[in-house]
Amino acid sequence: MHAPVTFVKPAEANRSAGAVMVDGCNRGGMAEEARRQPVGDVLEFAAETVDAADVRRNPPWQILIVDDDHEVHAITRVVLGEMTFEERPVRFLSAYTARQARSLLAENPGIAAILLDVVMETDDAGLKLVRHIREEMGNRQIRIILRTGQPGQAPERQVIAAYDINDYKAKSELTAQKLYTATVAALRSYQHIATIERGRQGLERVMEAAVHLAGLRSRSQFLAGLVGRASALVTNATTALLCGAGENGGVAILAEAGLPADPPAEAVADIAAALAAAPGDGQVRWGVRHGVAVLRGRDAAPLALCLLGGPFAEGDRPLLELLCTKAAVGLDNLRLYERLNEAQVATVHALGKLAEYKDEVTGDHVKRLGRWATAIARELHARGDFPQELDDWFCDTIGLASVLHDVGKVGIPDAILRKPGRLDEAEMAVMRDHASIGGSILRDACGGDRRGYLSMGAEIAESHHEKFDGSGYPRGLVGDAIPLAGRIVAVADVFDALLHRRPYKKAWDIAEVLDLLRAESGRHFDPRVVDAFLAVLTREGAGV
Ligand SMILES: [Fe+2]
């Protein structure tokens, strides 16, 4: 069974006289039969019903005939029409000029071979088409068999050396058997090149997927990314499911991509077998309509990646296996990252509590401060301000990192820290040390990690008392020299401190606090940060 082959001839019969194409055993009968075909009509070569799945499994080889002689097309179809190679039939496309051939090549990227004439609309139209295919289209896979009726126009030695063609045949010497042999050799060669190319592209996609997944820091994004990449990797996959062990011995779907589909019974059995498989069993279970591969991390329960659809290509199996191996390593790394992150969060909370024990300030201040700082950072990010510094990580980190802003107060004597009333100048000088003490403690703790809660906390601790006009402490930094996180926390810290009662002062009215923020914009505070904060307050109110 094979696909119906349609053959559409151009309206204008453009026969070139005298070209003899087929010689030998087929000269009489087959060539004569071809001559009897009505020119300008559509010829249906196959009448049998075609199973769409069969076509997907055994898609026809596409062969492009380019020749200005209609007879050559007809004879070629007669000679090669019934041929199959690797259980796949052939399908012909016809072009009568190099110009038509360019269009067909652009529309049909899967053409395996061209039977190409040289002299058509110009004496070298076929040769120019070869250049176009190889150099402009960049198509190195397609096999080109040059067939010329005027070898004088294109001498074999010169043409084979100068043009990237794969075979050269003079029409006068081309028997049906030789044409058949040349075509089979071309298809075999194309198949090998296509297999290597598919493998190369598949490996490239697996490596890209591994790099992409390795950059993800969220488990849900990782699992969704994995099934998305897997369904794009495997030929004709319609659905990808990532499964883990569910309750009561069942299977739980953790992520899915593609068309919604319940796995058929055989696939469910293979998923269960993959989840129960002993360590070391990394085999891919391959059915007609499904494939199941195992992801086995270092100290985690195995997961099963199931692909539905098909028919799958021969090279899909090792690619899926490789993707799962890479993804398992990625999941291990993600698990380590999550543990590290949890440890950092716990450390931040512990340090924050430590500072609370020393200070009169309640934990509520720290929580509100974190929420305000996050809201300001997100507002600035949404406005496109500070594009070099502000990203999702910054916005996700500043809330918790701001918990650490006053951690240096652990180094300030209680007599000063808890003194009711105003501090004198000498006491104030000691109090100011909390900024650099906090920075120093946290810098030591973060151990050179520049993208963590502790490193941002260090930055905030040592810069949250700097002022935009340079009159702050400990270093008297000016404007953008003050770390952005410190400029944001400065606004949020003063705002919340004024709005709430402290042992040494009453709570200010919101209007008074807003007046102060506006008055200090450009002096104490970065005006862009104040603007963003006022926008947040207008939108959300001050009662956070
Ligand atoms: Fe402070």
Give catalytic residue positions: 409
Domain boundaries defined on the chain: 6-174, 204-330, 359-540
Q: What is the pLDDT of residues 396-422, one digit of tens each?
A: 999 999 999 999 998 999 888 888 778
Q: What ranges make up the beta strands (E) of 79-151? A: 84-85, 88-95, 111-116, 143-148
Cα 382 to ligand 1 centre (Å): 28
Position 17 confidence tier, pLDDT thresholds 50, 70, 90: very low
How many angstroms is it from 465 CA to the middle of ligand 1? Answer: 6
CB 284 within 8 A of CB 323: no
Vertex 477, ends 471 and 482: CA angle to 5°?
A: 120
Three-state helix/strand/coil letters over 339-372: HHHHHHHHHHHHHHHHHHHHCCCCHHHHHHHHHH
What is 359-540's CATH number?
A: 1.10.3210.10
Q: Which residues pair with 92 in a beta bridge?
A: 63
- Cα(435) to ligand 1 centroid in Å equals 6
Residue 23 — very low, low, confident or very high, per pLDDT cuts 50/70/90? very low
292-310 pLDDT, tens digit per residue, is 999 988 878 899 999 999 8
Give the C-alpha separation, 188 to 191, whole Å: 5
Nearest to 373 by CA among 328, 408, 335, 403: 403
Q: How remote is the CA of residue 433 from the centroid of ligand 1, in Å? A: 10
- Answer whether CATH 1.25.40.10 is correct for domain 204-330: no
What would the pLDDT profile of 76-126 be if each residue is shown by its tens digit? 999 999 999 999 999 999 999 999 999 999 999 999 999 999 999 999 999
10 Å CB burial of residue 450 (0-12, 13-18, 19+) is exposed
How far away, in angstroms, is 145 Cα from ligand 1 center?
A: 81
Distance from Cα 429 to the centre of ligand 1, integer Å: 13
Q: Biggest alpha carbon distance in the chain?
A: 118
Among 44-48, 135-139, 450-454, which is the least confidently predicted range? 44-48
Q: How confident is the model at residue 25 (pLDDT cuts 50, 70, 90)?
A: very low
Give the architecture (CATH level 2) of 6-174.
Answer: 3-Layer(aba) Sandwich (3.40)
Mean pLDDT in residue range 160-172? 92
Please tell me the distance between residue 406's alpha carbon and the centre of ligand 1 in angstroms: 5
Q: Ligand 1 centre and the CA of 542: distance in Å? A: 21
Q: Is residue 211 over pLDDT 60?
A: yes
At 33, the pLDDT band (50, 70, 90 cuts) reads very low
